[in-house]
Structure 1
Amino acid sequence: MANTYCFCRAFVLVALLPLVMMAETPAPIASGIEGVISVSPSRPGPIRKDGPSTAPAGGIEFVVKRAETRVTSFITDAEGRFRVSLPPGHYTVLREDPGAAIGHWQFEVDVAPGAVQKVNWTGDSGMR
């Protein structure tokens, strides 16, 4: 009975291994953008010397446009990170939700053929 239990357990672990490996490795993209979006100031009032003035812009949807045409959108993770596949060209990345009415949330980026452009953007929250 113990041998059967050990065999079943080992079989399940081996069967799940490929799934775990695929989940940890993001799929490579031919060209596009990846990076982090932060927000500053992160709270109203004076900036404290002992505290950060920026915070991750997590869980926010951004729209990617080429000229005036919407190409795609993405949502940042809790740390403000994102990754999006795009063909080569010039793009504008911006917020269009009601929360974007205050502050500045528009960024420009050029994507080269066969390259992933790394960016680190900071949006203006509009708080003072």
Structure 2
Amino acid sequence: MPHDTARLDSLVRGFRFESYFTTVFSELSSGSRKKANLIAAFYVSTPLLLLDEPVDFLDFTATEFLYESISAARDGGRSVLLSSHIAESFTRCSSSVHVLKGGALTGPFPTPEDPHDVASLIQ
């Protein structure tokens, strides 16, 4: 894959990672490690993007950029599989929701518009 400097720069700026760009991964905080992993995930062009609890450890600005990036990936033709305990993650970024409860997977359900309505899918 050819190196796409503009794409990498956009991700680094979006996640506000500029000051950590040359820091050794093991020396990063949990939030900065999450940002580094997300930059790598969005940089590589794959048809399927798997994101497990992507908002954990992120600040507000990074979370907003994450939601924009997920939507852009989806709108660009990538499939995005997102697992999260944060209802806003679903209402902001998904078209359908599956619920894992007691080891059983249910759904798909249309994504509720209001994060508070996600709880009704679990009951």
Please, what TM-score do these two structures have when normalized by structure 2? Answer: 0.24
State the structure with bigger RCO (CA 8 A, min sep 6), 1 or 2: 1
More helix by percentage: 2
Q: Which has the larger radius of gyration?
A: 1
Please, what TM-score do these two structures have when normalized by structure 1? Answer: 0.24
More strand by percentage: 1
